[in-house]
Structure formats: structure tokens, C-alpha cells
Structure 1
Amino acid sequence: MKRFALSLCILLFCAGPAMADGLDTFLNNLNVQAGADRHGVVTSVGSHFGVPYSDVELIMGTTGSLADAFMVLQIGRWTGLSRDRIMNQYRANKGQGWGVIAKDLGIKPGSAEFHALKNGDFGYSTDRSGKGNDHGKGGASYSGEKGKKHGGGQDDRPMPTGQADGQGKGKGKNK
């Protein structure tokens, strides 16, 4: 019985930190893979977000890592904010972590997106076998809803650089 109790304590002691650092583990794995196969992983991330390889490289050049570039694109997908706006927030708060940055950009603590952020569960896998970490939920792994998209039919891709906050040059009527 004592061995069982000791084994259980060791298991819980080791599992607790492992569950608490889902985001850190995900981001570290992404950077390790980028170190081993930069072109392949950058291509994969670009494909995941539907952005050109050159855009991922540009963001990486500014943030310094593929993991941070991934987070810029992911937060852009969730919020619909421009990359410029996300990058400004990143520069101002990068020492405080992605949770603070996400919260400052409108992702509410307790929301499905915030839980996905903390767990490092983005429907993207650093596993090169082609299996995602979306747990069979149709790519909506952070929502718990099978395949349903969020955003009321809006395009969930990040806006191209330079189109910040809806300041387009359309020919619509002034009201």
C-alpha cells in the first residue's frame, strides 16, 4: 500500500507541471523542429494559417522565433486583428508572456481560446507524421465543438500587413 501511495504521489508530482506548461511545451517543440528543418516547419505553419512562406519568415525576423511567429498568427486568427496591431502588443509586453498579450488583445480569460492558449492546443501538431493535435474535432480543438467555426461566418485568417483596424480604401457611400 505504501508503494502504491508513493507511486501515486510521484506520478501526480510529475504530471502536474507537465499539464501546466502545455503552451511552453508546444512552443519549445516548434522551435526545436524549426532548428532541425526550418524550411519544412515554416512551410507547414504557413500552410496551417494560409499565409505565404515569406510572411512567416518576416514575422520570425521580427519576433526572433518561429514559436512567437506562430502565436502572432494564431492570435490574429482568433481576434481578427491585424498583424501590425498584434506585433505592437508583442513588442510592448513580450516579457510578460502570451497570456497577457492575448488578454490585452481581447481574448477573455476562461474563454475556449484562452484555454487553448494555456494548453498549447491549436489544432496544429509539431509531429511531422501528419497527425494534428486536434483530437478528432474537425480542426476546432480549442472550442470543443465538432468542426464548427467561430466568428459568425467571417474570414478567420489574419489580415494582411498594412490593413490595420479596418482602415480600407473602399468606394462605399459615406453615411
Structure 2
Amino acid sequence: MNQPLITAIAAMRDAAEHEAPTMFWSEAMEHVAVLLEHVQNSSSATESLQAVRIATAEGRLPEAIQHLHQVLHCLQAQSSEHVIRLADLLVTYEAALLVKPFLWLEIGYNRISGWMITVYDKAGGFERVVVQVAGLRTDDTCQSAAQQLRALIKEEHHV
């Protein structure tokens, strides 16, 4: 990650963690310009950034801050493809938690069997597996688990 991006992320994260303004508008826009330059390749970050703009325009600042955190996570995840897939899995998991708050995520790895991603639903005192994916490649395993979580979210919205 280049130094201007690191600086912009640190400044925006600091600003997002304070309720009162910590920088002038022009300084904030300089940091946003750096962030925008780097998020154009990430659709998840772009969607979150659009949500930041809408929430800010509508005066919903706490929601804008949450979306800004998602943008920052996506920016940090652009260092390599497998990290992007893992970040996508975590963002999808957080979305699933909004629908099913008793989910539990476990991610494990060993050199023999590879990656194992399991999501449990622990609602009502019972534990049942709702997603379980294993594989040697990080990208494929994370992507498959995220797809299954999206399907779970979609299913819950239709129930």
C-alpha cells in the first residue's frame, strides 16, 4: 500500500471515530480523493462509498460512519486477491448477522486438508451448521462460503 493511501486511511479512520469534526472540509476531501482513486477497482468498496454519500446527504452520520469503515476495510484488503476474498466473506458474514444474530464463524487452515470455513447457527440453544466449505485454495473457499451466506440471507428475507 502506498504512503498517501496509508495516510488517507489513517486520517479518515481517526475522523470516523470521533463524533465532533476533527478536520476541515478541504482536508477531508483531499483524503477522500485519494481513497476514491483506490476504490474504483473494488465494487464492494464502491457500493459502500455510495452508501456513505447517501447517508451523509440524508443526515444519517452514524450509518455513514459504518459504511466508511467498510470502505476502509476494502481498501486495506486490496493488497492481494485472497485477502480481498476473505474481506468479502467477512462483510457478507456481518450482513448475515443482521438477519440471524446467533451465527458463529470459524475459519481454520492446515497444510494437509487446506481451508475449512464453517458457520454455525446457535439460536435457541442449539448448534447447527448452516455453511461449511473446505478447499486448498483460499480464494475458492472464501468465495464459495460467501455465496452460501448470501443465499442464506436471501432465504431468510423470503421466509
The two structures have a TM-score, normalised by structure 2, of: 0.30
The two structures have a TM-score, normalised by structure 1, of: 0.29
| More strand as a share of residues | 2
